[in-house]
Every structure is written in C-alpha cells, then in structure tokens.
Amino acid sequence: MVVELKAKLTRQELYEKIWATSLVQTAKEVRLAAGTLWDICKNHSIPVPARGFRLKLGPKLQTPLPELSGWNPDVIELFGQAESRRRLQHRKPEGTVRVPEPVVARSGPLSHPFTVRTRRLLARAKPDLAGILVSGEGLVAHVRVSKRTLVRALRILDALFLSLDQAPFRLSWPEGSDARLTISVLDDTFRFAISEIIQYKRHRPTSRERLHQKQNWAFRPRRSDYKLTGRLRLEIDGVRGRRRHHEWSDGARPLEVCLHDFLIALVGLAEDLGKERRGAGSWRECWDRHQALEKQLLASKSAAIYRMDLVTQAIKDRETASALRDLLAELEPALTKIEDVEQRSHGQELAAWIARRADSLDPVKNMSRLISEFKAAAS
C-alpha cells in the first residue's frame, strides 16, 4: 500500500508522530528504514520510544512522555525511497511479456559466440587461493568457477546466452574493450555472473606457519580455508549501484527451471525499477509543488510582517512628531522673554529645527512616501 508522503516535517511534528504511533510505523509512512529514521532523530535531538514501549490506557497508568528540549525551528527533510521490492525469486512479470525457456545441451559444441569467447579467455587462466579461475586479461567477470566445473558452467552459459538473444532481452559485450558483459531488459541494464559456491572455514595456523611467522614478522597465514562445492549459482550484481546480490542456486530444482526463473526475475526486476523511476518522478513533482507553495507562503508572510513593521513605525513617528510640536508650543512663549539677542537667535534656530524634524517624522505630511513603501512590500 502506498501512503501519502509528507516531505518536510518540523521537530515537533516528527516528535508527535513518532510518539503517537511508533518509530517503525512512522518510518513506513515516510518510506525510510527504521534505523535511518532513528539516526535522523538522534541528529536533531528528538527522543524516541525505547524498544518494546507501549502507551498504557487510562490517565493514571499512562507513561509520561519525555519533553522535546531545545528550540530548533528548522524543517527536517525526509527523502523516502520507493516501495520496497518483493523477493525476486517469487517475482512474476506483469502483462504479456513472454520469457524464453532455455534448454541446456548435454553434448555437442558451444554455439553462442560469447560462450566461445569466454572459453578462449579462460583457456590460460590461473586459479586464485580459493581455486577460482582468473583470466590474465581480466575480461571474464561473469564467470567465477574452478577448472573442474568450467565445462558445466560453459554449457549453462551457452543455453542462457541463446535465450538472452531473444526479446525482451539484449546482450552486450563489445569486442576489444574492457567493458563487462551486460543484459538489457525493458530500458534497464544489469550485470550478472555465474559463480561456484565456496564454503569458508576459519583457518588454524599450522606449526610450520607459526614458526615462519616468528622468523618473519611480515608473514601472515591465510585467514580462511576454502572448499569448492561444485554447485553453481547465478547472480544479478550491482542493481543500479546497490551492493546487493540476487542469487539462484541449482539445488534440488531442475537446471532448466532454475534458468527460467532467473530470466523471469530479470524481467520482474526491470519492471520494479521502472515503477520506482515513475514513482520518483511523481515524488519530485509533488516536492516541487510543495517547495513553490512554501516559497509563496513565506513571501506573503514576509510582506505582512514588513507592512506591520511599517505601520508600527509610522505610529511611533506620529507620536514623536506630536511630542515635538507640543514642546515647540511651550518653547515659543519662553523665547520672547529672552533679552539677550544672541541667545534668542540660538533659541529660534532650535525652534526651527524642531519644527522641521516634526514635519519630517509626521506620516500624515509624508503620505506619498508611506504609500510607496507600503506598495513596495507587496511586490
């Protein structure tokens, strides 16, 4: 179910939402992992319920909530991810996409040119510590098997490549370049590999290795013992930059069924990624509308605040001008009683300055300036 998203929350809103429901439920609503939302709350000093916390019913039994300390008016931006995918092993393609059924040949020559090219590149490959063949040219990243299972892996690859040459798939492996083999499905490109399952066991240093380590401090024995099982698996690796593997092992199921499920999963994965892109586009449009509305509200709020400050200052200027005129009315009779000519002249200068100052502060006498400043706040 897709829930309505709120892209931006204040600390108070996020605090109330988490304590009204739960951290996990709030994370689902904003399409974030619970751990990610917990980190966001920690960075913004928002208390979260402890594990297993439940609000008890009744005013006497209700647990008191912690206070949201501090004052931070900043808005928290939550960028949720798209709806979580189902396990690809159980994912079925939608619509009328037909997936070819591969058939593995038990004998005969290899028919697909990419399989022949893979065999040629691995002809002089050397095994690594685990026994996996590594080509000296480094161009066969889609095959990670031992020499013992190489023939079987090439047979499986040959059948898979023949199926991937049909719609809706498209193979790409340019000759004479360092590019890896890729599969294109419904406007998405993936890398895949067939690899041999390896069992790892912690290595216990032998007495000879311990003696060698004492004699040479730079020597370090290997950490693991490797055991090649001979079982193969197919992997979709690095889906859109994510470090995740989707694997299908050839266990109890027939090999052809496993390969067919692998092709179905490729189509399902491409469909899910397409939905995710479309959802990201609608999310971005909603986000842009939200941002534009906020800018408009902020602009109108700023204009209202500026106008109120302008009117408040006009009232203060009017009061100051009235006080100056009252002072001037009391000074004029006193100036006529001064007998010293020079002092009376200075007093008249003071009275003239007070009159000019009162006229400059009075908003009624400067109505055109007040109106122009009021109109400028709207624009």
The string of pLDDT tens digits covering residues 281-296 is: 666 677 777 778 888 8
59-88 b/e with 16+ CB inside 10 Å = b? Answer: eeeeeeeeebeeeeeeebebebebeeeeeb
Asked if 130 and 248 sit in the same domain, the reply is: yes
Asked if 95 and 207 sit in the same domain, the reply is: yes
* Predicted pLDDT at 157: 92
Asked if 35 and 114 sit in the same domain, the reply is: no
Examine residue 1 and state whether it is found in any structural domain, yes or no.
no
* CA dist., res. 269 & res. 284, Å (int): 22
Examine residue 302 and state whether it is found in any structural domain, yes or no.
yes
Q: Which helix (H) or strand (E) holds 228?
A: strand 224-237
Can you read off the two tokens belonging to residue 274? 């397409």
Asked if 347 and 273 sit in the same domain, the reply is: no
* Predicted pLDDT at 73: 56
* Predicted pLDDT at 80: 53
Q: Please choose, from the candidates 118, 114, 196, the residue with its C-alpha nearest in 3D space to the C-alpha of residue 162.
A: 114
Q: Please choose, from the candidates 250, 99, 121, the residue with its C-alpha nearest in 3D space to the C-alpha of residue 180.
A: 121
Asked if 268 and 317 sit in the same domain, the reply is: no
Residues in the chain: 379
Asked if 221 and 314 sit in the same domain, the reply is: no
Q: Please choose, from the candidates 328, 333, 331, 319, the residue with its C-alpha nearest in 3D space to the C-alpha of residue 362.
A: 319
Asked if 270 and 302 sit in the same domain, the reply is: no
Asked if 27 and 116 sit in the same domain, the reply is: no
* Predicted pLDDT at 364: 86
Asked if 36 and 116 sit in the same domain, the reply is: no
Asked if 142 and 251 sit in the same domain, the reply is: yes
Residue ranges in the chain modelled with pLDDT below 70 = 1-7, 52-64, 70-75, 77-96, 238-253, 279-284, 377-379
* Predicted pLDDT at 214: 87
- Quote the domain boundaries for residue 251: 88-280
Q: HSE-up of 187 (CA within 13 Å, CB side)?
A: 6
Number of structural domains (the chain) is 3
